[in-house]
Amino acid sequence: MLTTLLLTTKGRKSGEQQMIPLICKPTGDGGFCVIASKGGAPSHPAWSMNPKADPAVHAKVANEEFKAMARVAEGDERERLWNAMVDYYALYTDYQASTESLIPVMLLDPA
């Protein structure tokens, strides 16, 4: 069974709070990893642009709610987390094969 996280970000254009459900995996240090895919579409999902403008986000997993700072993983860290997420949800491999852009791996570190 996949774990789902409700991520709330501040819209970079609207300024409104926006919530989206995402598949997540704990990182082991109190944070979570999510994938900013759009099913293999050529562009990244709109929500993934919001934390670049304001990385302070709110997340809820089951009954646990927390504030976090969102950031995009890079280099070896991205590769390690991408592989862990693909092991968790294999369709991410198909999504990546459908697009030329590198799908972002986002970390939600507890604030």
- At 55-111, the pLDDT tens digits run 999 999 999 999 999 999 999 999 999 999 999 999 999 999 999 999 999 999 999
Alpha-helical segments (H) within the chain? 50-53, 75-88, 91-97
State the pLDDT at residue 61: 96
Domain positions in the chain are 4-110
**CATH architecture observed for domain 4-110:** Roll (2.30)
State the pLDDT at residue 1: 84
Specify whether the CB–CB gap between 37 and 103 falls below 8 A: yes
State the Rg of the chain over Cα: 13
State the pLDDT at residue 37: 93
Q: Alpha carbon of 78 to those of 18, 88, 105: distances in Å?
A: 25, 15, 6
Cα–Cα distance measured from residue 59 to residue 43, given in angstroms and rounded to the nearest whole number: 24
Structure confidence by residue, pLDDT tens digits, 24-48: 999 988 899 999 999 989 899 999 9
What is the arithmetic mean of pLDDT over 49-54?
Answer: 94
Q: Spell out the SS3 assignment of 70-93.
A: EEECCHHHHHHHHHHHHHHCCHHH
